[in-house]
């Protein structure tokens, strides 16, 4: 089959690879209809996530049709149109039973990498390095889905592919960011990053009762989408001081909730010295991640407020203002998305007309255009929010 493969930093190639096969009795094989790029893929492409190997298939947000199933798959059938949650759970361990599938004890077959880096091992992730299981990704004509009864969800009738595909990753990630922040009616929520996950976090914050939502970015088309599609007020961090602006917008109090939808490759906007410092430290290996957004959130959030972090971080950061966080009494909530917990609820919002993520798909391209598509996505060219591949043509 045809697949988009990682072959080194900024080196993607479309290659012919063996078709996937059933490995365990709980597996299914999905014929991929749509597979979206994601901002966290850029961390792989830019070389910030170790344990990638040449030939690894990337991609983790997808929709397709089940064409084969193992003998112990009970609730799914050949021909079902499904999305699959990007973070893989087993469905049986304590974490999965308590709605914390991103912390699954069993789905990562390579636990030694994560244990060395983090002390404990979390779940496997499609197409996201051998530290997270070495699973083949979704930018391919077919993909094997393990623990299928727990991870794959039938798409309801009346929900289009263009709306459904993002329930695989962007929608539950954004929704979880808002949900775990404990948003209350009347809250002011600020969201750093107006890409796909940030857009869904803003819309979800409104669904959960926020009175005002503020989106922060520098890309004009993403700021427009935040206003027109997510109903947010916006700030361009390249033009204003974010702390001063947020204080002015909240009467000197600060937002009740701050959401990080950016992660490890954040930049510091108008603070050129801080940005140079972070990039220099990262370049020489003295820190793995750039924490500009975290610093801004800690400084800007109201006393006693909540920081919700779903932007991906992989390792270590420098100049983290722990003193400010502690003395302001801030609450931190963070983690990879637990999409299995939210998928049915999100389909309900979509069917009720309360949520329409289809506008995230600004470009639909064949898989052969994969390397150029990621370049466009990374450079935010041509008003690109998300490229979605159609591997079947």
The whole-model pTM stands at 0.95
- pLDDT for res 265: 84
Residues 6+ apart with CB under 8 A from 21: 29, 144
The conformation of residue 141, written as its DSSP 8-state character, comes to S
- pLDDT for res 315: 87
Q: Assign residue 348 the CATH number of its domain.
A: 3.90.180.10
- Residue 59 dihedral angles phi and psi, to the nearest 5°: 105, 140
- Claim to verify: residue 327 and residue 227 sit in the same structural domain: yes
Q: Assign residue 227 the CATH number of its domain.
A: 3.40.50.720
- pLDDT for res 286: 67
- Claim to verify: residue 115 and residue 233 sit in the same structural domain: no
CA proximity to 266, closest of 255, 258, 274: 274
- pLDDT for res 279: 80
Residues 6+ apart with CB under 8 A from 378: 42, 45
- pLDDT for res 270: 63
- Claim to verify: residue 343 and residue 319 sit in the same structural domain: no
- Claim to verify: residue 20 and residue 147 sit in the same structural domain: yes
- Claim to verify: residue 276 and residue 180 sit in the same structural domain: yes
The conformation of residue 167, written as its DSSP 8-state character, comes to G
Total of domains in the chain: 2
- Claim to verify: residue 221 and residue 76 sit in the same structural domain: no
Q: Which domain holds residue 51?
A: 2-169+337-389
Alpha-carbon gap, residue 233 to 269, rounded angstroms? 18
Report whether 110 contacts 133 (CB < 8 A). yes
- pLDDT for res 273: 75
- Residue 133 dihedral angles phi and psi, to the nearest 5°: 110, -20
- Claim to verify: residue 144 and residue 279 sit in the same structural domain: no
- Claim to verify: residue 205 and residue 120 sit in the same structural domain: no
- Claim to verify: residue 370 and residue 311 sit in the same structural domain: no
- Claim to verify: residue 56 and residue 99 sit in the same structural domain: yes
Alpha-carbon gap, residue 51 to 31, rounded angstroms? 27
- Claim to verify: residue 118 and residue 216 sit in the same structural domain: no
Averaged in consecutive runs of 10 residues, what is the pLDDT profile of the chain (393 residues)?
A: 97 98 98 97 92 97 98 98 98 98 97 92 96 97 98 98 98 98 97 98 98 97 98 96 97 98 82 77 78 95 98 90 97 98 98 97 98 97 97 91
- Claim to verify: residue 120 and residue 233 sit in the same structural domain: no
């Amino acid at each position: 089959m045809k697949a988009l493969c990682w072959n080194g930093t900024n080196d993607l190639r479309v290659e012919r690879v063996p078709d996937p096969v059933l490995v365990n009795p709980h597996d299914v094989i999905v014929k991929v209809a749509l597979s979206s790029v994601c901002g966290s893929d850029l961390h792989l492409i830019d070389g910030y996530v170790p344990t990638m190997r040449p030939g690894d298939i990337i991609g983790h947000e997808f929709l397709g049709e089940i064409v084969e199933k193992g003998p112990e798959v009970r609730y799914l059938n050949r021909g079902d149109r499904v999305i699959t949650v990007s973070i893989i759970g087993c469905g049986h361990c304590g974490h999965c039973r308590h709605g914390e599938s991103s912390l699954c004890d069993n789905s990562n077959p390579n636990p030694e990498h994560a244990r060395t880096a983090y002390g404990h091992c979390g779940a496997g992730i499609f197409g996201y390095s051998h530290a997270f299981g070495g699973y083949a990704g979704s930018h391919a004509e077919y993909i094997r889905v393990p623990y299928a009864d727990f991870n794959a969800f039938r798409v309801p009738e009346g929900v289009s592919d263009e709306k459904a595909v993002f329930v695989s990753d962007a929608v539950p990630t954004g929704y979880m960011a808002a949900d775990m922040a404990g948003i209350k009616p009347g809250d002011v929520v600020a969201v750093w990053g107006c890409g796909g996950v940030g857009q869904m976090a803003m819309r979800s914050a409104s669904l959960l009762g926020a009175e005002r939502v503020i989106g922060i970015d520098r890309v004009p088309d993403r700021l427009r989408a935040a206003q027109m599609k997510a109903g947010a007020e916006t700030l361009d961090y390249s033009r204003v001081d974010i702390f001063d602006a947020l204080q002015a917008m909240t009467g000197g109090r600060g937002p009740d909730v701050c959401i990080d939808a950016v992660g490890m490759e954040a930049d510091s906007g108008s603070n050129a010295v801080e940005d140079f410092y972070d990039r220099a430290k990262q370049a020489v290996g003295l820190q793995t991640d750039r924490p500009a957004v975290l610093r801004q959130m800690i400084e800007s959030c109201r006393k006693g407020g909540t920081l919700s972090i779903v932007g991906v971080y992989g390792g270590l950061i420098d100049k983290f203002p722990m003193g400010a966080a502690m003395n302001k009494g801030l609450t931190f909530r963070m983690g990879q998305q637990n999409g299995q917990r939210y998928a049915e609820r999100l389909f309900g919002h979509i069917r009720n007309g309360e949520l329409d993520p289809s506008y995230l798909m600004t470009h639909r391209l064949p898989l052969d255009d994969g390397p150029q598509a990621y370049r466009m996505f990374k450079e935010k060219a041509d008003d690109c929010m998300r490229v979605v591949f159609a591997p079947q043509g």
